[in-house]
Structure 1
């Protein structure tokens, strides 16, 4: 009788496929700003301001938004590279750190990150095989070197040729494959990819994306994928979360977001994606002005100063993240999966377009 071994992620599954792997609740982080020594009032950058979301097991959540919207800070807060001011995280049903029974050390073994700068992420004094084996070896794993060589082969780098090399002897794509192999050395369940393919040329980028898809299926991995490239996010993601100035403005299945974006900021982002179709080319900028100062965000909706549909209610009250207004049949099929933070989506907000949509 033969038995088949499950991937580490499936073997460690505690709550079944219906339970989200990661749930983030009201995550906040403010960074102090150095001001004049005689100023009485301290100023803070509101980098992440009340972010909440869930990631299903075996899925990829893409996080998009302009530079400075809080994407990378959110990733670092989840990985606890930066300590949050407030908020809670639940990993496969267990609270993390002071919020439950999963210690930070155990949580960090379940989660790994791959960064944009492949060279800065590697120790120039360690050979490639020592780089991958370093973590498992430090934790007393007996077969750390053998595991490192196997992972090196799995990401497409022949161990006999690359194991003894150093980071400066590799190309950018090869170094990023090493970073992926190192991230997999602990057999994590969640991988955070922060602009992991942004610095690669298109042909190498496609190869690395295909590798990530294969590894996700083989090892039952869950991804948080951060990128400015909306084409790449569309290809890799199952769900998409759009952030603006530290807030989540829209979240939902990737095809719903790309096909029926409900927030004006999301529509502006998608309209800026280059198109090969002459009939769909953007002839004028979809947005005017710059994002507000994150040190002193405006009251109400933070996007209202750049929104063509802004009304008085947008300045008076912050919009809640609610399921989208859809016809009854479509809403029943969509459930609460597609949510948007916009007064035009709230029938009780008093915004004229929300009232018109409900009446229709």
Structure 2
């Protein structure tokens, strides 16, 4: 079949098949059944973030090879989060900062590439979580200029809602069992949005609620049953009991403690070479961080689950500079605590510095997997949670 014909068929199903039953059944349906038997209203989906559209430059993405999706499904995973930088699907001049009059210049040919990945994942039984990693007026990453502030400017909020209205209409025929919308990645406020190392903290909760509620209403005006997720505040780690009255699920993070998960990460530390060695449990002077510390960290998220709020861990994992044995020991405890609370996970990436493939770790004996470098110990640690 011609690829463009396939895309048209996919969008036609999305537009007119309200139940989404023409799409592959896959493992997500059984995951929803499992969720109905646990306290967590969300299924404990397990899988990976796919970074095809993570960059604002569509030519600088990290394409997901067709066999990657096949392997994810074959290994028993049922989840793919797709974090998107919104300029990646616009028709704009990327040699300069984006202007307010350009933020809705949707490029159909680029949107079709998102369709292709969504369709591939759904066809392999993966639940897809579509996320705006960079939204009009905000991104937790620095290094570029947004034309306004999502948390303060009505024009930015209107553009944000317009993007979600576009996605809601584009995929309105796909069941919530197959597709969810993750509104905006890791809300955070920096003193200097253009400096990655600038100090910051949580977004004002009233500002965040106003933005989230407006987007939720926009999406639900197109498809009332769409599953919508809000990331935790303060970079994703802070639970939102203030949102418990909204029909929103929430997404936590699996990066605690940060000195383990982001050991020597260049975008975190100005001088990575000065970072002291780490071990697990982690000695913090007067405190020893261990699995009980992880349980304390997730206690606010457990409280949300107990209140009837669906919770999923949209991002987790460990940068490749953390010693492998330390990483596996720590992350095994993270996975144990998530499982205790019926919370699924999405590893930050499938192939790359956080991934099970091609992570570039210097202390791993990789298995050759069809020409890719497989971290078998990491993969088996994840599969043990199935």
Both structures adopt the same fold (TM-score exceeding 0.5): no
TM-score (norm 1): 0.36
TM-score (norm 2): 0.34
Larger radius of gyration: 1
